[in-house]
Structures are given as C-alpha cells and as structure tokens.
Chains A and B, each alone.
Chain A
C-alpha cells in the first residue's frame, strides 16, 4: 500500500528539499502529490483532497518547515493539525438537555449500522446521563427490522415502542413520542429504515417524520468503510434534513476512514460518536486528532 511508510516518504522528500535549501513550486507539487495519493488511499473524497492539499501547500511554503531539523515531520504536523481542525478540533458532544425530552432520529444508507447504533446510544446515555430511554421502531420495510430492535431492547432492558403490521412510519414515530411523554421517557431514539439518498419517496418520508416529531438531533450514520460516495450521501441527507451530526461505524476494521474528513469538510457537521464493534458497548466519543492520525496512517 502506498500509505504505509508515509512518514519515511516525507522524510526522504524533505531531506532532499532541505539540501536544496529552498522550496520551489515544483517541490511543493511533488510533496502534494504524495499527500494526495495518501489521502486517496484513505478514501478521502477526490474534491476534498484537491482543496485540502492546495491549502496545505500554501501554508507550508515559507513556514518553519525548511529551517526545521526534521522538515518531514514538521510538514506532516501541519497536515495533521489542519486535518484535526477540520474534523472539529474539540470533541463535540450531543445536544443533551436534562429535564426535557431529547429526541434523536437515526438516518442513513442501508446497512450502515443505524439500528445497532440506536441501541448502543440508548445504553450509553442511560448509563452516563441517567436518561430513561425509549427506542422507537420505524423501519417497516426490512424483514425482521422491528424484531431486531426489540431483541436489542430486550437484551439491554430498554423499552421499545413498535407496531407490527402497521406500515406507517410517521404515525409510529408520533405514537412512540406520545408514549414517551406518558411514560416519562426523557430520551427517545427513532430507528428508521435504510434508504438511498436519491430515493425521493423515502427521503420525503424522513422529512415527514422530522416534521411530526421535531427531533433534537438527527444523526446520520455512515459506514466507516465508505469510499468516494460519502460526500454525496452526506450532502443530500443534510440538504433535506439539516442533520445535526454524524456517527461513523465499523471503525474496528482496518479502514483508514477518510469518509470522516470528506464529510466534515463538505457539510461542516461534526462527527459525534464512532462505532467500534458489534457489541452494544462498542461506541466511543469521536476524537478528531486520533482520527487524523488514522487517516494519515500514523
């Protein structure tokens, strides 16, 4: 893989550059080409890579890079800093408010990890914030989707609101919310069916659910292994729903997870949590600097 040994590669290029003493435009281009290849191998979106490397190049010229004893490391540091800032810099937490209802809506492509993540979040926030959670099963399409959420709820001893044989996700969401008020649940997490961002009817359905329940967070769940497509997905879900944040799943794999950078760069919304396994405790806060290291293969 191109990516392994990025560090050494940079050291090499820079020790050559250093001998020359001065960075020419061509030198910068060469370094940028290496970074570009590295980021593409990590699945950062092509358009994001283009803009990102341009910015980095500009920042690197004339900076402390060449006079440094370790210009390669210095340059990588700039890249990593820039990326960390883009990924959100500070850890961004959910918009929780004690004493009022917190209503979260899980959305995303098919198989991204919405249902599993809904259960993980309910469990985590019950423990950390002492919320009383209710899961609401609004995927009326996928075979056994409701059952899946019910089983997860049972396992965690978290209540699940579901309606079998009712094909009306908006209605289920409303009635779930109603139940949560009656039962004094202060955290409601709505699971929705996976859908393509180009599926107008199903995207409309999400808009209708949003209007019906007025969620405090709309969380786009994205598979961490996603390639170039991540920006199209994020753009469209965000355009139609004005999402509040992203959850990146399956980061227990060996993907570099360039989707993280691509998405935050494109829509400017924070990644809030990451999924790191199939167990219901495998969820962690998102740390921008760790993610930057991962994307850069460091």
Chain B
C-alpha cells in the first residue's frame, strides 16, 4: 500500500492520540483505516494535509443533525451519578431565561441527600420557578405536578432533574421509564426533548450508558460536561458514530454560564491540542 512518508510510527502515534482521548480501540482503528484509505487515494505527502484529512473524518463523524426543541417543551435530564445533571439544568435555565423564555424546573431527584436543596439554590440564583416535593417522594408524582404547573404558568420549557442512576440498575431504570410515561401522558401540547448528560472523563462504559438510557427514554441529545478539564471526551465520538445522537451542549465549568453550544470543529481541534 502506498503510504508515502506515513510509516508505522506515524500511525502508532495517531492511534495513541486517539486512544488517550478515550475514543476506544475499535473506533480508533476505524478512523485510522479511513485515513489510510484517504492517503492512498490522494497520494498526499504532506503531514499537514493528512492531519487535515483526519480532522475532516472526525468532524464528519461527530456532525449529526440536531433537532431544535419545539416550544413548549419538556426536557428530562438523565445520566449516571455525579456527571453534572443538576448543574446542567441551572445552565440550561439561565440560557433559556436570557432568551426571554419562561422556564420551570422540576426537582425529581427525591433520592440523593440535598439534591432538592441543590436545585432549589440554583433556581434562586438563576431566578426560575421550581416545583419540588420532599425527599423520598415518588419522582413521577413530582413530574406530574410540575407538568401541571408548567401548563398553568404557560411555561416555554419544563426541565426535569432526575436522580443519578447506573444504567445496569434495572429497578432504577424502570422508575425512569415510569417518569417518561407520565411525561408522554400528561405532556400534551409539549414536545419532548430528553438529554443525557455525559462526563467527559468517562471511559468505554459510556457506550453502555448511552445505549441503555436511550432504550429507556428516547434521548434527543447529549450534554458533554467537564470539558474544562484535561479529558477530551472522545468516547462521545464513538457514541455519536454508533447511535447518531448529537452532542448539543458542552459544559465548561461549575457556574451557570459555563455552557456552550457544541462545535464539531472546535471539539476535534481540542483532541489534538
């Protein structure tokens, strides 16, 4: 095969970069193969050009049509423990509020210690309405109440917090299905736009997370958090490639303004920094 000046070392180094960004061995191999084919096809000899090809391949992989939520909308925020769901809700609230939308949030994590207080504090800081119940209450009933309140208050967006749960916990996933059924049943007149929150430091396990959560509640998009750290969040590429679910937002800090739109080119550039 014609490889010009691109020897094994070049590809080894490339593989290392991709794997160290958590793309996973399979996806990394797939990308490297695509690049080999491209080099063969173009007979390119310039390293710069080849890196350009590589970025194009990656950008194409992560570019998936995003479906803008039709207002009014209900967003159920799901994900495993500690990824940044509650904080992301504060960030989304702030963003929509700035756009002049009426936001209501629902504190349906009735399980974790001080989860309601945490969201309540954010609601005060950002200045949005919150519907809450006591710890230990049935999360579905909180959602039921919240949908009623969202309708009564003519909200544009209802964002629902949920307790973090590992995707292999069958009972907890059933609970999420129940919440989702309540939203489907009661959310008449609202579009449904569920988001899964994914921590950028997560490894290969994230693929299972995405698959199981998506089976449980239809996920429209991913919020990739903690990208202000040194983790690259490459596992998101494997998820997008496999499931065609877009990343919608990126979390870059702990404050309510630390949320940006996903930019495929910037994201890919970051992998090579």
A and B bound? yes
Residues in B neighbouring A230, C-beta threshold 8 A: 201
- Flag whether A238 is at the interface (Cβ < 8 A): no
A253 to B24, CA, bound (A): 19
A45 to B229, CA, bound (A): 17
Does the CB pair B121–A144 fall under 8 Å?
yes
Does the CB pair B82–A112 fall under 8 Å?
yes
- Flag whether B118 is at the interface (Cβ < 8 A): yes
Does the CB pair B24–A41 fall under 8 Å?
yes
Does the CB pair A225–B114 fall under 8 Å?
no
Does the CB pair B22–A142 fall under 8 Å?
no
Does the CB pair B26–A2 fall under 8 Å?
yes
A223 to B209, CA, bound (A): 15
Does the CB pair A253–B114 fall under 8 Å?
no
- Kindly identify which residue among B25, B113, B122 contacts A151, using a CB–CB cutoff of 8 Å: B113
Q: Which residues, 70 to 117 on B, are CB-close (under 8 Å) to A?
A: 80-84, 111-115, 117
- Flag whether A228 is at the interface (Cβ < 8 A): yes
- Flag whether B14 is at the interface (Cβ < 8 A): no
Q: In the complex, how many angstroms separate the beta carbon of A258 from the nearest chain B beta carbon?
A: 7
Q: In the complex, how many angstroms separate the beta carbon of A69 from the nearest chain B beta carbon?
A: 31
Q: In the complex, how many angstroms separate the beta carbon of A292 from the nearest chain B beta carbon?
A: 17
- Flag whether A272 is at the interface (Cβ < 8 A): no
Across the interface, name the chain A residue whose C-beta is closest to B163.
A278
Q: In the complex, how many angstroms separate the beta carbon of B164 from the nearest chain A beta carbon?
A: 8
The answer to whether residues A142 and B203 also contact, given A37-B25, A228-B19 and a CB cut-off of 8 A, is: no
Main secondary structure of the interface of B (DSSP, over half): loop
Q: Interface digits, B118-134 against A, CB 8 Å rule (1 contact, 0 not)?
A: 10111001000000000
- Kindly identify which residue among A143, A229, A255, A256 contacts B231, using a CB–CB cutoff of 8 Å: A229
Across the interface, name the chain A residue whose C-beta is closest to B28.
A40
Residues of B in contact (CB 8 Å), total 43
Q: Interface digits, A120-151 against B, CB 8 Å rule (1 contact, 0 not)?
A: 00000000000000000000011111011011
Q: In the complex, how many angstroms separate the beta carbon of B238 from the nearest chain A beta carbon?
A: 11
Across the interface, name the chain A residue whose C-beta is closest to B113.
A151
Residues of A in contact (CB 8 Å), total 47
Does the CB pair A227–B166 fall under 8 Å?
no
Q: Which residues, 125 to 179 on A, are CB-close (under 8 Å) to B?
A: 141-145, 147-148, 150-152, 155
Q: In the complex, how many angstroms separate the beta carbon of B196 from the nearest chain A beta carbon?
A: 14
Does the CB pair A253–B16 fall under 8 Å?
no
- Kindly identify which residue among A41, A111, A258 contacts B82, using a CB–CB cutoff of 8 Å: A111
Q: In the complex, how many angstroms separate the beta carbon of A36 from the nearest chain B beta carbon?
A: 8
A252 to B205, CA, bound (A): 12
The answer to whether residues A144 and B81 also contact, given A198-B229, A255-B205 and a CB cut-off of 8 A, is: no
- Flag whether B44 is at the interface (Cβ < 8 A): no
Residues in A neighbouring B202, C-beta threshold 8 A: 223, 225-227
Across the interface, name the chain A residue whose C-beta is closest to B169.
A252
Residues in A neighbouring B199, C-beta threshold 8 A: 111, 223, 225
- Flag whether B20 is at the interface (Cβ < 8 A): yes
Residues in B neighbouring A143, C-beta threshold 8 A: 117-118, 121-122, 125
Residues in B neighbouring A141, C-beta threshold 8 A: 254
Q: Nearest 9 pairs between A and B by C-beta?
A: A227-B203, A111-B82, A43-B203, A143-B121, A148-B114, A144-B117, A144-B118, A151-B113, A227-B22
14 A–B pairs (Cβ distance < 8 Å), ordered by A: A109-B201, A112-B82, A113-B82, A144-B115, A147-B118, A150-B114, A196-B229, A223-B82, A228-B19, A229-B229, A229-B230, A229-B231, A278-B81, A278-B112
Interface residues of B, Cβ cutoff 8 Å to A: 16, 19-22, 24-26, 80-84, 111-115, 117-118, 120-122, 125, 166-169, 199, 201-206, 208, 226, 228-231, 235, 254
Beyond A2-B26, A46-B19, 20 additional pairs, beta carbon < 8 A: A40-B24, A41-B24, A43-B22, A46-B20, A109-B229, A110-B84, A110-B226, A112-B82, A143-B117, A144-B117, A148-B118, A151-B113, A198-B229, A225-B205, A229-B201, A229-B230, A232-B230, A256-B204, A259-B203, A278-B111
